[in-house]
Chain A
Amino acid sequence: MDYFIQQLINGLTLGGVYALIALGYTMVYGIIQLINFAHGEFFAAGGYMGVIFISWLAAQGVHPYVCLGIGLVLAMLYCAMLAMAVERLAYRPLRQASRLAVLLSALGMSIFLQNGLMLTQGQYDKAYPTEITAGGFQLGGLYISYMQCLIVALTVFLLLVLNLLVFKTRIGKAMRATAQDKVMSALVGINANHIIAFTFAIGAGLAAAAGIMVGLYYGTVSYSMGFVPGIKAFAAAVLGGIGNITGAMLGGLIIGMVEIFAAGYISSQYKDVFAFIILIGVLYFKPTGIMGENVDDTRV
């Protein structure tokens, strides 16, 4: 039983990370029907920015949790700006072009950003000052690390903030309106370009937070680390119903759990197989994902 609960906690942690990345995919898809393949790179860039800021602050003798807080906010802001720049340069000029053109632009951006990270930060992995969040506590037969608590707590917090933002604020309303119908929302005076840039910024900020969590939890970040979690998070977004924010959270959690339980009870060889079998199964029986798609079906 302890073994089961321990794996459940592992699954929750990993699922939280996937959910944070998946939100960016799903929000961007919801608003402009673009699968932003460069999204995983924001996650990697966030990881690197985190290690740079946190290590520097820690070297100045700042309290670890203050370092973490400031590093987190700065990295999220950085990635938000990076995402807006990417949107402006690579996607906005192609707004009227065919979907395929934008998709290729996204793939190109992914390669560009990944290699940019490699050239500026080096090919070697970078080590996080993991000692600042080391430790954990024993709960019966369970061992829970502080980092696991932090990941779950931060994920829940960010999800709540996001929900408030999307469903309770004016800009959230504008986002939903733009996602539903770009033409109509433009007619009532919403600047679609601003809203789209804002959506990219939010998604990338969440991915950056995930990047820092991963760096602190697993110890190192590498320039190529965005690709695989990016694909998994994309799967999570599709699983939950692309364009659907609640669906992305749920999808992330499911993919994380399935991976961990497949590895823990069958064999870690099969964890990716099972994650994608679930995805294929859901798409086969319910093509719109668990929570249903939520996208603009008017073509502009």
Chain B
Amino acid sequence: MKRLIVLGVAMAALALVLAGCGGGGEEQKQADPVLKIGTLSPLTGPYAADGNDIRQGAEAAVAVIKAQGGLPGFSDIVVVPADSACDPKQAVAAANKLINDKVPAVIGAYCSSATIPASETLAEEDIIMITPASTSPAVTERGLPYMFRTCGRDDHQAPAAVKFMKEVADVKSVFIVDDKTTYSQGMADGVAAAAREAGIEVLGHEHVNQGDKDFSAVLTMVKDRNPDLFYISLQNSSSGATMVIQARRMGVDAILMGQDAVFHPKLIEFAKADSEGMFCTFGDIDTSTQGYKDFLANYSSKYSDPGAYSAYSYDSAMAYLLAVRAAGTTDPAKVREELLKLSFDGASKKVSYDEKGDSGSNYTVYQVKDGQFVPYWNSLTGQKY
């Protein structure tokens, strides 16, 4: 009896294995492969807000392309998210996970300090990487052929910020604070250098720790030195909000200015009235274009309102998908050629990439007015809105 059962089980198992083989073979012949796109952004930790925007932006672009009938030669397009945590070590581990998932392209990462090591890992496998948010010049200056960037560069943002201080806000002195990341410190150093060159006195340049909540010591110093403008270069909007709240509560009455990492609706949500009047530089997004409206319609129907980097991530994923459509393959060399030829009206701007992989900067100074970021001054034209 026992032997019979064993035999039965063995037969059944054999039948299953055979069926599995046959089915698999047929499927592979019939169906086209699935196109996987990786996203690399901080999904946990203090930068999760921007990180989720990036993942959602890429998903929205995929949804648009799928609604248009997908890509010829591919049965489906899926987004494979990975968590870079804004940490070099974890970003490399996450990049390796994406390599194992066999993605031909990665949208991300967020922090330059995570993007750069992850891009080195991805470059070994000839995987295309398009960052929607890392603005450190080094990202595209290392000569990696498959590295692209949809946002602007710090070496354009810092001069734009200082030009605003000098020409529009007419300040004589500035106090700068950063939180020691590749991005935030690079940006702060750039602003300090440009300010000195422009004849603005730098009364202090202090460094706090990432994730600190208590800024009372450094803010007391700011109050004591009494600068015309207080420049906040932190890595995320929540720390920015904490600093803004404390600065105003301690009676710092300088003009407040931040960069594109503190530019986020969450800044206003957290700091409320204390953020009123604050300035931030951010890559201009013209919300009146058809590209932006298409993006907004698709994004808002699925998620809440877009965050600071949703549109850039959407454009990065869109650029890749359009390039694959034109190339008809995911072969990196061919897709690269198509990316360089590409020019389309995206959500954030007219997207096109130069030989280095950059897509140009167009920094605008926004001001918080009645609880919203309102475009205030365009650095390219030098005009107020």
Interface residues of A (CB under 8 A from B): 3, 6-7, 10-11, 13-14, 118, 123-125, 127, 130-131, 134, 136, 143, 145, 147, 214, 218-220, 222, 224-225, 228, 259-264, 267-269, 271-272
Chain B residues 240-259 with CB under 8 Å of chain A are 241-242, 245-246, 249-251
Tell me, in angstroms, the Cα distance from A40 to B201 when the chains sit together.
42
Tell me, in angstroms, the Cα distance from A225 to B272 when the chains sit together.
21
Which of A143, A225, A264, A271 contacts B221, CB < 8 Å?
Answer: A264
Contacts A123-B48, A219-B242, A260-B217 given; indicate if A267 touches B249 (C-beta within 8 A). Answer: no
**Do A218 and B242 touch across chains, with their CB atoms under 8 A apart?**
yes
**Do A218 and B246 touch across chains, with their CB atoms under 8 A apart?**
yes
> What is the size category of the interface that chain B forms with chain A?
35 or more
**Do B217 and A264 touch across chains, with their CB atoms under 8 A apart?**
yes
Chain B residues 14-63 with CB under 8 Å of chain A are 43-46, 48-49, 52
B174 to chain A, nearest CB (A): 17
Extra contacts, 13 of them, besides A14-B216, A125-B241 (Cβ < 8 A), are: A14-B214, A123-B45, A143-B250, A145-B249, A218-B246, A219-B270, A220-B241, A225-B213, A262-B217, A264-B221, A269-B207, A269-B208, A271-B209
Interface-centre pick from A218, A222, A225, A272 (highest chain B CB count, 10 A): A218
Which of A7, A147, A219 contacts B217, CB < 8 Å?
Answer: A7
**Do A123 and B207 touch across chains, with their CB atoms under 8 A apart?**
no
**Do A259 and B249 touch across chains, with their CB atoms under 8 A apart?**
no
- Contacts of B206 on A, CB cut-off 8 Å? 267-269
- Contacts of A136 on B, CB cut-off 8 Å? 249, 251
B251 to chain A, nearest CB (A): 5
Contacts A124-B266, A127-B269 given; indicate if A271 touches B217 (C-beta within 8 A). Answer: yes
- Contacts of B245 on A, CB cut-off 8 Å? 130, 218-219
- Contacts of A259 on B, CB cut-off 8 Å? 214, 217
**Do A10 and B238 touch across chains, with their CB atoms under 8 A apart?**
no
Q: Which residue of A lies closest to B48 (CB)?
A: A123
Tell me, in angstroms, the Cα distance from A261 to B216 when the chains sit together.
11
**Do B207 and A268 touch across chains, with their CB atoms under 8 A apart?**
yes
- Contacts of A13 on B, CB cut-off 8 Å? 216
- Contacts of B251 on A, CB cut-off 8 Å? 136, 143
Tell me, in angstroms, the Cα distance from A131 to B238 when the chains sit together.
17
Q: Which residue of A lies closest to B177 (CB)?
A: A268
**Do A123 and B43 touch across chains, with their CB atoms under 8 A apart?**
yes
- Contacts of A124 on B, CB cut-off 8 Å? 48-49, 238, 266
Contacts A123-B43, A220-B238, A263-B218 given; indicate if A268 touches B269 (C-beta within 8 A). Answer: no
**Do A145 and B48 touch across chains, with their CB atoms under 8 A apart?**
no
**Do A134 and B44 touch across chains, with their CB atoms under 8 A apart?**
no
Q: Which residue of B lies closest to A14 (CB)?
A: B214
- Contacts of A219 on B, CB cut-off 8 Å? 241-242, 245-246, 270-271
**Do A123 and B241 touch across chains, with their CB atoms under 8 A apart?**
no
Q: Which residue of A lies closest to B204 (CB)?
A: A267
Q: Which residue of B lies closest to A148 (CB)?
A: B216
A196 to chain B, nearest CB (A): 31
- Contacts of A125 on B, CB cut-off 8 Å? 46, 238, 241, 266, 270
Q: Which residue of A lies closest to B216 (CB)?
A: A10
Interface-centre pick from B52, B208, B220 (highest chain A CB count, 10 A): B220
6 A-B pairs closest in CB distance:
A263-B217, A123-B48, A10-B216, A219-B245, A264-B217, A125-B238
Q: Does B124 contact A (CB under 8 A)?
A: no
Interface residues of B (CB under 8 A from A): 43-46, 48-49, 52, 180, 206-209, 211-214, 216-218, 220-221, 223-224, 238, 241-242, 245-246, 249-251, 266, 269-273
- Contacts of B273 on A, CB cut-off 8 Å? 131
B110 to chain A, nearest CB (A): 14
- Contacts of B272 on A, CB cut-off 8 Å? 127, 130-131
Tell me, in angstroms, the Cα distance from A125 to B213 when the chains sit together.
12
Q: Which residue of A lies closest to B250 (CB)?
A: A143
**Do A272 and B220 touch across chains, with their CB atoms under 8 A apart?**
no
- Contacts of A264 on B, CB cut-off 8 Å? 217-218, 220-221
**Do B207 and A127 touch across chains, with their CB atoms under 8 A apart?**
no
**Do B242 and A3 touch across chains, with their CB atoms under 8 A apart?**
no
Tell me, in angstroms, the Cα distance from A264 to B211 when the chains sit together.
19
- Contacts of A6 on B, CB cut-off 8 Å? 220, 223-224
- Contacts of B266 on A, CB cut-off 8 Å? 124-125
B271 to chain A, nearest CB (A): 7
**Do A145 and B242 touch across chains, with their CB atoms under 8 A apart?**
no
**Do A222 and B220 touch across chains, with their CB atoms under 8 A apart?**
no
Tell me, in angstroms, the Cα distance from A79 to B46 when the chains sit together.
23
A210 to chain B, nearest CB (A): 12
**Do B211 and A218 touch across chains, with their CB atoms under 8 A apart?**
no
Tell me, in angstroms, the Cα distance from A123 to B49 when the chains sit together.
7
Q: Which residue of A lies closest to B244 (CB)?
A: A219
Q: List 23 A-B contacts (CB under 8 A).
A: A6-B220, A14-B214, A118-B44, A123-B52, A124-B48, A124-B49, A125-B238, A131-B272, A131-B273, A134-B249, A136-B249, A145-B250, A218-B213, A218-B245, A219-B242, A219-B271, A220-B270, A222-B46, A260-B217, A264-B218, A268-B208, A268-B217, A269-B206
Q: Which residue of B lies closest to A6 (CB)?
A: B220
Which of B43, B223, B249 contacts A147, CB < 8 Å?
Answer: B249
- Contacts of A123 on B, CB cut-off 8 Å? 43-45, 48-49, 52
- Contacts of A225 on B, CB cut-off 8 Å? 213
Q: Which residue of B lies closest to A264 (CB)?
A: B217
Tell me, in angstroms, the Cα distance from A220 to B237 when the chains sit together.
11
Q: Which residue of B lies closest to A146 (CB)?
A: B249
Tell me, in angstroms, the Cα distance from A186 to B114 when the chains sit together.
55
Which of B44, B45, B224, B250 contacts A3, CB < 8 Å?
Answer: B224
Contacts A6-B220, A7-B220 given; indicate if A218 touches B46 (C-beta within 8 A). Answer: no
Q: Which residue of B lies closest to A115 (CB)?
A: B44
**Do A224 and B217 touch across chains, with their CB atoms under 8 A apart?**
no
B368 to chain A, nearest CB (A): 15
Tell me, in angstroms, the Cα distance from A131 to B273 when the chains sit together.
9
Tell me, in angstroms, the Cα distance from A248 to B351 when the chains sit together.
58
- Contacts of B223 on A, CB cut-off 8 Å? 6, 143
